[in-house]
Amino acid sequence: MQRYETQRRRTYIVRLTITQLIITLIGMMAGYFLAQMPGALSVLLGALVALLPHAFFIKRMGVLRSNRPSQAAMRLFRAEAGKFGLTVALFVAVFVVAPPSNPAFFFYAYVAVVLTHWFTPWLMPKNANA
């Protein structure tokens, strides 16, 4: 049973990542269409600020490997704290080092990628054997 759950989590993570990348590409195309290269770059920066902490959380939480649930709460706390800290650091880095030329595109992309978690469960198989 644990092997099935690990495979199901892996499937979810892969589908979520693909969906986030597709949303990023669509946003970059829209940004390029509306504001040329600066718009596309702003969308890319916004998506990266959302994607990098998400990848950190997955790695830190150990979602892709089956392990003991005994310390799951502590792993969750550490992973979420690290994700929050990384998000804050990336926001600061982006606005200090390379401010986006169009902050609206930046924040739209960030929110779109973050909200992808809500829609990805619809992409999961409905039956228990998939």
What are the pLDDT tens digits along the chain (130 aa)? 567 777 888 888 888 889 999 999 999 999 999 999 999 999 999 999 999 999 998 888 876 665 555 567 778 888 899 999 999 999 999 999 988 888 999 999 999 999 988 877 777 766 555 4
At how many degrees (to 10) do helices 2-61 and 72-97 cross?
Answer: 40
SS3 content of the chain, % helix, strand, coil (to 5): 85, 0, 15
Q: What is the SS3 assignment for 12?
A: helix
How many Å apart are CA 57 and CA 21, to the nearest integer? 17
Domain ranges of the chain: 2-121
Tokens of 44: 């890319």
- Overall pTM surpassing 0.85 (yes/no): no
102 within 8 A of 37, measured Cβ to Cβ: no
Q: Where are the alpha helices (DSSP H) in 98-121?
A: 103-119
